Amino acid sequence: MPRVGLEVKAVSATKRVSPGLGHPPTGEVTKLVDVSVCIGCKACEVACKEWNDLPPNPDRPFTGSYQTRPDLDYDFWQLIKFNEVDRGGRLVWTLTKFQCMHCEDPGCLRACPAPGAIVQYANGIVDFVQENCIGCQFCVTGCPFDVPRISPTTGKVYKCTLCSDRVAAGLEPACVKACPTNAISFGTRPKMLAQAEERVQRLKADGYTEATVYNPPGVSGTHVIYVLPFGNEPELYGLPKNPRVTFVNLWKGPLKWLGNTVLFGGILGAVLHYFRFGPREVNGKGAGASHQERVQ
């Protein structure tokens, strides 16, 4: 696995990470999806499957919809959602390229119990390392966007890598390269944020007064951001309004300490109780001797 360009920031089930020498020359990277420019051609889907060597799957036949598949899958890491929305009696197609959001505060990584199965690189990409994955799917529950999917054949979980292998080599992700309308851009984070803001201003000038950048603060921002024309209603695009990592905090906080108290407190209590009161023996000598006399 390449290391230059993929310096590690966080590792699942591992408290301290030695980041190694150096830092990515790019700094943090971000992919920007402007859904207002997407024409639903699905070139990105094809490019994704081609680069990542994910051939067509006969177990997932075509279901007769504009949308290639009903949902993400272990061998289908990004999907154009053909959401049909009713806006004042008018049909609006909110075509949305959906994939892993590469959260700055990734719920999947925090929920993962297997050391090294999920890593976050210093450039912001969150990657699954299948060699270390145990298939527990805690990441599925930890993910606020419902992205990871398990393969029934390998028992491992897969998702978009943001083409970490290409990015480490200085290339843009395959989907970005394939997009014919520039609906997808990729670059350093400050540049992408500025570009998103600029596009939002243009949409607002065109009458989309609610247009915003989707970069949810509940997960400390994402490394895949959107420009949404109806930005006040991200649900129209199949995106959660305020994604947050909730239960993992409860688990790694109060529940962990309750568990510690019961486990170590219980053992310590038993030892102390034994020192003070000892065993109860009714058949011979021992602490229960007086008791034994009473029984007879």
Partner 1 sequence: MEQRTEQDGGILRYTLGERIVHWVVALSFVYLLLTGLALFYPPFYWLVGLFGGGPVVRYWHPIVGVIFFGALVVMLLMWARDMRLERHDREWLRHMGDYAVGREEAVPPSGRFNAGQKLLFYLQFLAGTLLLLSGVVLWFPLSFGRLVREASFVVHDLAAIAAMGALILHIYMGVFVIRGSWEAITRGTVSRRWAEAHHGLWFRQLRAAGSRSQE
Residues 255-294 that bind partner 1 (CB under 8 A): 255-256, 258-259, 262-263, 266-267, 270, 273-274, 277-283, 286-288, 291-292, 294
At 184, list the tokens.
């997808």
Least distance from partner 1 to the Cβ atom of residue 126, Å = 18
Is position 93 an interface residue for partner 1 (rule: CB under 8 A)?
Answer: no
Measured distance CA(143)–CA(151) in Å, rounded: 17
From residue 97 to residue 116, what is the string marking binding to partner 1 with x (rule CB under 8 A)? ----------------xxx-
* CA-based radius of gyration for the chain: 26
Question: Which 8-state DSSP code applies to residue 91?
Answer: E
Q: Candidates 6, 150, 162, 224: give the one binding partner 1 (CB under 8 A).
A: 150
Nearer to partner 1, 87 or 256 (CB): 256
CB 223 within 8 A of CB 101: yes
Stretch that binds partner 1, among 20-28, 32-40, 130-138, 184-192 (CB under 8 A): 130-138
Least distance from partner 1 to the Cβ atom of residue 266, Å = 4
Measured distance CA(127)–CA(130) in Å, rounded: 9
From residue 214 to residue 253, what is the string marking binding to partner 1 with x (rule CB under 8 A)? --------------------------------xx--xx--
Cα-Cα-Cα-Cα torsion 132, 134, 139, 140, nearest 10 degrees, comes to 140
Measured distance CA(121)–CA(116) in Å, rounded: 12
Least distance from partner 1 to the Cβ atom of residue 78, Å = 18
Cβ-Cβ contacts under 8 Å for 111 (sequence gap 6 or more) = 138, 139, 141, 142, 248, 251
Q: Which phi and psi angles does 120 have, rounded to 5°?
A: -115, 125
Nearer to partner 1, 176 or 245 (CB): 245
Pairing of strands 224-228, 29-34: parallel
Is position 119 an interface residue for partner 1 (rule: CB under 8 A)?
Answer: no
Q: Which neighbouring-strand residues pair with 80? A: 97
Nearer to partner 1, 156 or 166 (CB): 156
Measured distance CA(37)–CA(54) in Å, rounded: 27
Least distance from partner 1 to the Cβ atom of residue 71, Å = 9
Q: Which residues bind partner 1 (CB under 8 A)?
A: 13-15, 113-115, 132-138, 140-141, 146, 149-150, 155, 246-247, 250-251, 255-256, 258-259, 262-263, 266-267, 270, 273-274, 277-283, 286-288, 291-292, 294-296
